[in-house]
Structure 1
Amino acid sequence: MSRSTLTGATRRRSTARRRPLVAGLLALLAASALSAVAAPAALAADAPGKAANIRQGKPVDAQPGQDWIYPAVVIKNTGRRPLGTEKLIITADSATHFLSSQLGVSRRDGQEEHVQCDLVSDDRVLICDGFDLNLAAQRYLVAYPEMGVDSDVETPTTSKVQFALGSPQFASGKAGISIHD
């Protein structure tokens, strides 16, 4: 299998080798139509003054049994106030699982970091309590967990990874993983 240039379908062994991937993701996802959509009214009502959206550009391609795939999403502050520390819960469906308890984060300025989270429920739920978004109004970041595809999954299928931001939740979104032989 060849390395994916923009979606991160294979594991990068070092942060330096991952930077072109992250820069490409930032450019691709920032250029997509992310600016006009706010969180649904029902979610925004639960967390007054907070607004964000969570979007994915293109689903990541993977094969059954493949490890080290990175379904990246853009988290954008669509509100007028800065977003600080929030809870982020990422849930894998029955076809995928998390490989580590770290969440990769790339910021607009090119800064890359790894957020330590808690891995629960047979490696299918990643809970990031105290995730410091540090997002001014209309700014964004890219978040990407390290995941694997179960070897016994039937193909072709699309796996969905759910992202829920806030407590109470004020934004949610999905990342897709297109699984095929």
Structure 2
Amino acid sequence: MSEGDRHEASTHTFLACAAEVARLLNLEVAADVPEDRRARHLAGAARRPLLERATLSEEFFDPLMAAAVYDPDPSFCRWFVEPALYAFGRRRVMTALLGYLRTGTTAEIAGARRAWYCAHLPLRADRSPAYAPSGSRDPALDEVDDLLGRWLEPSSTRQRDRNVSGRHDQA
């Protein structure tokens, strides 16, 4: 598969992920937007409604994580990670990203690394109604100290394996 084919497949995957999030929010798919910009358009349309909700149903979690991982732009994957952090907690988000790192394709591993950076965003009570009216939330949702070492272990093992085999990560 050529680099162009991989890029096209990745673009279609991201579009499918963004479209699923939009569908869950009952947003209209923008048929008048060119296909090469449709995924970014849907992501932008979903951002505010996702952050404005005090809760997100369970059916949102996997599509949000997939959209974050497949978003090719590290500046924008935050649009999916941030609402997931508020609704499901930092621990669950980072655990899902760790799963992509351990078992994902090369593209998914690269996407998980981009999203991992966004998973460290500071959470603020004034940013989301996911916080209780008192401005607090269950600290267990965001306890991740034990996950940090797990992230570094597979990452360093994969890098060591690549160096030994002479391969380089092209993600």
Q: TM-score, normalised by structure 2?
A: 0.24
Higher helix residue share? 2
Q: TM-score, normalised by structure 1?
A: 0.23
For CA contacts below 8 A with separation 6 or more, give which structure has more relative contact order: 1
If you compute each CA radius of gyration, which structure gives the higher value, 1 or 2? 2
